[in-house]
């Protein structure tokens, strides 16, 4: 799990992840699911999406660049998965974040 979090851009397969743990693919998948409650590939997808969201909203990366940095080759696939996972498009998410930032009182104007 830690390796997936630190290397979200890697093109992992169940077999490659199992090999890293010196387990068979079926045993690895079973153990991973018991620990995480989801499959290794679902876990990787969630990590990628969460990291991309952080890059987009906090680090102000372009949407396509953030998607690429976390391992997505297809921006359309990224967009579909982002909306499915967060319930909002990345573009709309960024717009809402900007609107919230505008509504916050400036931290420099303390009375």
Is pLDDT of 111 > 50? Answer: no
C-alpha to C-alpha distances, 17 to 8, 26, 44, 68, 104, nearest whole angstrom:
12, 11, 11, 21, 44
Is pLDDT of 108 > 70? Answer: no
- Residue-range domain boundaries for the chain: 2-103
Q: pLDDT by residue (tens digit) across 48-88?
A: 999 999 999 999 999 999 999 999 999 999 999 999 999 99
Is pLDDT of 47 > 70? Answer: yes
DSSP state of 66: H
For the domain made up of 2-103, the CATH class stated in words is mainly alpha
Q: pLDDT by residue (tens digit) across 21-46?
A: 999 999 999 999 999 999 999 999 99
């Amino acid at each position: 799990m830690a390796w997936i979090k630190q290397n979200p851009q890697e093109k992992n397969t169940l077999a490659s992840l199992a090999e890293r743990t010196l387990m068979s693919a079926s045993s690895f998948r079973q153990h991973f699911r018991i620990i995480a409650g989801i499959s290794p590939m679902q876990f990787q997808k969630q990590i990628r999406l969460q990291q991309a969201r952080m890059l987009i909203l906090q680090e102000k990366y372009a949407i396509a660049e953030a998607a690429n940095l976390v391992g997505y080759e297809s921006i359309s696939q990224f967009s579909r998965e982002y909306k499915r996972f967060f319930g909002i498009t990345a573009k709309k998410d960024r717009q809402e974040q900007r609107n919230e930032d505008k509504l916050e009182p400036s931290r420099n104007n303390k009375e």
